[in-house]
Chain A
Amino acid sequence: MASDLQPAILEVGRALDAAYPSRTRNPLKAIDERAMALAATDQELKAALFRFVDVTPACRSLDDLARHLTGFLDELPERPPSLDMAVRMARSRTGRAALGAAAAAGVRHMAHRFIAGESPRAARGELRGLWSRGVAASVDLLGEATVSAAEADRYAARCAEALDELAEAAAASDLPAADANLSVKVSALTPLMRPDAPDLGREDAAGRLRPLLRRARELGAHLHIDMESLDSLETTLDLVLDLLGEEEFAGGPSAGLVLQAYLRDSPAELDRILAWARSCPRTPPLVVRLVKGAYWDHEVVEARQHGWSPPVFESKADCDRNFEALTRRLLDAAPLVRVAIASHNLRSVAHAIAYADGRELELQVLRGLGDELGQALATRGHRVRVYCPVGDLVAGMAYLVRRLLENTANDSFLGAQARGAPVEELLAAP
């Protein structure tokens, strides 16, 4: 098929490329131009900077912050001159205060590109901005790891409040309630996520997810369940399919799950999801958000440490090809499921649009990384949703570092785009 589709993909891709809002076209450069440009060229420096970003919220004072920064920089075999100055500054107390303040501001600035606000209420302005441009949103509540029942309860309560808040905000913007859209993580809804005992987490999380589904149904809002690392896959998939298969949810709420194309088993998982959808018809149909997967390094390292064969594709092209194959299967399965394609890769997105050829399709991007692509898609009249994490800096750091790492990785699409690869190359078949 790919050969017939290629001209259409090129056409869609070029049109999107031309529709990017400004000449920036490269969210990475804008993030924090110099730091990112530096980080992208030097692996050790990148590690130092990201470790620093990671520890920022745990530092007790500007002095402490500056000491951490220089601690990381001291470990570098070579330092660019600009950072040498930072190390010199840190020799005096006042220098450290100034350095700490500058670094803190830098990290906060970076965080705000990815995180829409401290709370759904604080993010209201941002959401309204998106909505007014015809772009939808999904809010994700960042949080610390859940290690106790009390923490799981608190997260569930925050989710319930967020649903109310989003429904109210949508109403205030004269939008249908369905535009209130919340993404949740199962690992935050239970402290009992055990890879060797998936039933424990499933049963425990069900007790907290069920009330959220009811609330979403009452409000007419959409609830989406994110997918995390493979250790939690069985729990998550069983939980979502079990609950949504329950009689009481046959007529709503609108809900969805995530399929990760980097998993070698993802085609079999899609079989299972489609078989389920056939056996439990529900209205509205399940949304399947197709992603590549955010835990690639984690999965590979964990497998290597245990001597297991990695559960993910090890070549980017295999992953991308699988993503396209799953895209086609999903679009062909509609209206059994509703399809959302979540990617910042112009090729992956153009492929989906070309194959859909006017059939219903939603495209999704992450705040801070896919803003320009999102705008280009909206300009071209496609349905777009921006995934907007909300939360404080402490909770946001793990998310932030993951995004930074992923997108400065050598074979990421955004990396290639940042290096200025020509659009034909970016649109080539994987």
Chain B
Amino acid sequence: MSLPPFRNEPTLELRRSRDREALLGGLRELEPRLPLRVPVLIGGDAGGAEGIESTDPGNPARVVAVAGAAGERDVEQAVRRAAEAARRWGALPAAERAEILIRAAALLRERRLMLAALQVRECAKPWGEADADVCEAIDFLEYYAREAVALERGPELLQVPGERNAMRHVARGVVAVISPWNFPLAIPCGMTAAGLATGNAVVLKPAEQSPGCAGELVRALHEAGVPPDALALLPGLGDAGAALVRHTGVHAIAFTGSGAVGLEIIRAAAETPPGQRHVKRVVAEMGGKNCVIVDSDADLDEAVPAIVRSAFVYAGQKCSACARVLAHEALVDRLLERIEGAVATLRVGQADTFGTDVPPVIEEEAHDRVRRYAELAASEGRVAAGGGDVPDEGWFHAPTLATDLPPDSAVLRDEIFGPLVTVERVPSIDAACDTVEASPFALTGGLFSRSPDTVREVTARLPVGNLYVNRHITGAMVGRQPFGGNRLSGVGAKAGGPDYLLQFTEPRVVTENTMRHGLVVE
């Protein structure tokens, strides 16, 4: 089987009413199915499906999914069965596994309208974002399927007469995937697909806020032909994830989420209790405090909309979102005034309404956190925009713009993960780079400048994993912008990039002597 080259799944063209209508149709199709039931699923056996509930952040009374809450016993059983399944699954040629993943991609494609609608309901992702998330999930399946086939061929090694050298990448065994709610389909799909494509069995523990999306993902993978044992679904709370990370039968952990949890996973994974015969590999994608630098020659007509979009799309709940703007003093006042005006035009509303810019944040706790930082910003500095009217019901927080903060303010330091952005005045682009370099985070960054020299210098200096020049800083595309952070933002693995799969394999080299009594066997 030879696969056509990878290309990104086209998003819907939401500027056309026929595509908008189609999505609304997806919602009508989904609604009568709610709440979805998402049981613990091990080896195809459905366990309990009560324990946790996901609700619509825009209407918390609406239950979207009722899911099981996996416990220690479930973890134990899932890992044991995965270990057995991994041997058979890993022994298949990569092309056969690829075929199954591509079939799963086709199923997601068929169900894309319903899947987008599910994200609208379960995570309050606005339509355009939800549709892009489904496309990204499809991309991960298609991309890693191809990459795994390429990886199986192995690299070219130096060969000399009388010796045959070969290098292979083989599956590690059991991969634990612990995924967040903010890309409720794409991120679990990407990490799961990477594990499966390379021949590992996967145990997936999705965020408790979005079990419904994870359930649909697993359903599609099983229907496509992933053996039930090779992919288990453990909906549940943090303790289930922690138990999974600690389990001695887990070989690799793929995690995306907060810095605190990520570092805890890295610590726990470093333990090698008796009976564990391997070092666990951790792929951790953590938080950020992403800065956009605006040079004195920037085109504000482009910078202002791009900053506003980067900061507030999906209510700022993307790890790539813009949190700090560092603007050259020559234009900071004008920039601030224009961003302020632009923030005031943002539409706060339900995710199912086309045109909504800022949907509710995911849950009450997130809402409280954003409110606390907004209050802190008001007391330590100045809130230039914010506090507008928002709907009473649902976890809405008005988009907020803060400035004049003291350099040591927690508002400038902590990841807030909500609709709050700050603007700081810098005397030079060098000074802005100093600020970015001083941060423990290095996920995404942005630069607006029309000077080739400045672009070159800033590119050379900034440690961030993904730097965007003269554009918005969110929306990395599989195969085009391999995504992942450095420093405390992540371990440097690049999802959707050419070397990501290496994290899920272990390399083996075989050298064979092909000469006997001077006879070279070729």
Contacts and interface: CB of A to CB of B under 8 A. Distances in A.
Interface of A: 51, 54-55, 58-60, 64, 67-68, 71-72, 74-75, 144-145, 147-151, 191-192, 194-200, 230-231, 233-234, 306-308, 398
Nearest to A303: B13
A264 B127 CA distance: 26
Contact of B298 (A58, A68, A194, A230): A58
B71 to A, nearest CB: 43
A196 B354 contact: yes
Contact of A197 (B296, B354, B452): B354
A423 to B, nearest CB: 41
Contacts, number: 95
B345 A148 contact: yes
A234 B15 CA distance: 8
Contact of B341 (A51, A148, A398): A148
9 contacts: A58-B297, A71-B453, A75-B452, A147-B304, A147-B342, A191-B342, A191-B345, A306-B11, A307-B7
Given A196-B355, A398-B301, A147 B10 contact: no
Contact of B15 (A144, A148, A192, A196): A196
B11 A150 contact: no
A148 B344 contact: yes
B344 A307 contact: no
B341 A147 contact: yes
Given A60-B297, A192-B347, 10 more contacts: A51-B450, A58-B296, A147-B304, A151-B341, A196-B354, A200-B355, A234-B17, A306-B10, A307-B8, A307-B10
Q: SS class of chain A's interface: helix, strand, loop or mixed? A: helix
A51 B354 CA distance: 36
Contacts of A192: 345, 347, 355
B20 interface: yes
Interface of B: 7-11, 13-15, 17, 20, 127-128, 296-302, 304-305, 308, 330, 338, 340-342, 344-345, 347, 353-355, 450-453
A191 B341 CA distance: 9
Contact of B450 (A54, A145, A191): A54
Nearest to B15: A195
Looking at A51, A197, A199, which has the most chain B CB atoms within 10 Å of its CB?
A197
Nearest to A232: B15
A59 B15 contact: no
Contacts of B20: 196
A189 B341 CA distance: 14
Contacts of B342: 147-148, 191
A196 B127 contact: yes
Nearest to A149: B345
B132 to A, nearest CB: 10
Contacts of A199: 355
A136 B383 CA distance: 50
A196 B21 CA distance: 11
A287 B487 CA distance: 61
A199 B353 CA distance: 12
A194 B15 CA distance: 8
A191 to B, nearest CB: 4
A147 B8 CA distance: 31
A145 B301 contact: yes
